[in-house]
Structures are given as C-alpha cells and as structure tokens.
Amino acid sequence: MVDEVNALIEQLEAQAGEDRDPETTPDIGIVMGSDSDLDVMAGSEEGRAGAYDAFVDELGFEEQTDYENPPESRYTFETFVVSAHRTPELMYAYAETAADRGIDVIIAGAGGKSADLPNMTASIAYPLPVIGVPVQEKSVDSVIGMPTGAPLVAVDAGKSFNAALSAAQILARENEELRDRLVEYHERLQADVGEISRDLHELGTPGFREQYE
C-alpha cells in the first residue's frame, strides 16, 4: 500500500513538471478523505445529487481518468481519495502540485469531527481556490474553522452539488461557454418551478398530489 501511495506522489510530481496545454488537463480536482465519502461527494441514486451529477449531467463536464489521454470534452475534472490523517504526504503532494498540473479549483470533502482535509489542502494549495464540503453535519465546524488569512470557501454539509456549481462559476468568469451552460442550468430550474406551479394551480392540491406521488 505504501508503494502505491509513493507511486501516486511520483505521478503527480511528474505531471506537474510537464508543459501541457491547459485545455488537456483537468480543470477541477475533487478530493475526499475516504471512499466512504463518495456517495456524498459524487452523488448516489438513493441520496441527494452530488458534484459528479452537477458536472456531468448538468454542465457537460467529463471525468478525466487518464492524464495522458484527456476526454474530448473541453471541461473536465478528476477525483482522488486523499486522507489528511492516513496519507498526509499524498495530501501535501496533491495540493502542492495542483496548480502546475492545470487544476484551477479544488473541491475537498471530509467527514468526522476532525475533517482536516479541506483546511490543509487550502493552506498548501494557496492561492488556488479550495471549496470545502463537510460530509456530515458534525464536520461543519472543522471545515469552516479557518483562521483569518487562511481562506477556505465552504458549502453546507453534504452539498457537494453546490460546491461543483461554485467551482464552475469561478471558471466561468473567464469562459463564456461555461457561463452559458450555467445560465441554461438555472433557466431549467426556473422552468421546472413554473411547470410545478402551473400544475398545482390547475390540478388543485388533491390532483397534484395524485399526479406527482
């Protein structure tokens, strides 16, 4: 296992030393403290939507799983498990190399009362923006408790979907196409509310409940 961690560190450092076209590297990095956080950070069929759902289903991103062979999509993200407590060297290497590897924003999620991954990642990756996701309610204080001068933007517990939207908003400041995708997503939300409001009014409460249950 230690060999695998060291291999990942060496891989990240090697990629940071390459001079690659920014359009071929991941735009956003998603890191989490454990694979048990995946349902919150990515989203699951049984639970609320997550960052993966926002990027892929709503904004047209693709997940980049091979640094050497990027997907066709202009906008991409990557995903890693990086534990602040069990693999601090890997966490440090990821945060330290992120900018040189082409990452523009990091989304970092962690659970438990000592959810240190977002905080430490933000400190090491500075000035790269980091969006923290408390995986559980009990993680909120740990994630948002950064001192003055050590910035970390955070969303509410479990809302990695919003973290993805915020990351895309940061990128959209300099990318009109991505801005248009965000606007289109927002317009779909408005249309959904309008449709539901019309149906509730026209069907009445009993009919609406029957149709939507």
Q: Is 188 annotated as a binding residue?
A: no
Does residue 44 contact residue 126 with C-beta atoms inside 8 Å? no
Q: Is 34 annotated as a binding residue?
A: yes
Please tell me what DSSP assigns to residue 55: I
Q: Is 37 annotated as a binding residue?
A: yes
Q: How far is residue 29's CA from residue 199's CA, in Å, rounded to a whole number?
A: 40
Q: How far is residue 29's CA from residue 103's CA, in Å, rounded to a whole number?
A: 6
Q: How far is residue 191's CA from residue 91's CA, in Å, rounded to a whole number?
A: 41
Tokens standing for residue 206: 């009993």
Tell me how many helices (H) and strands (E) the chain has: 8, 6
Binding residue ranges for substrate:
34, 37, 86
Binding residue ranges:
34, 37, 86
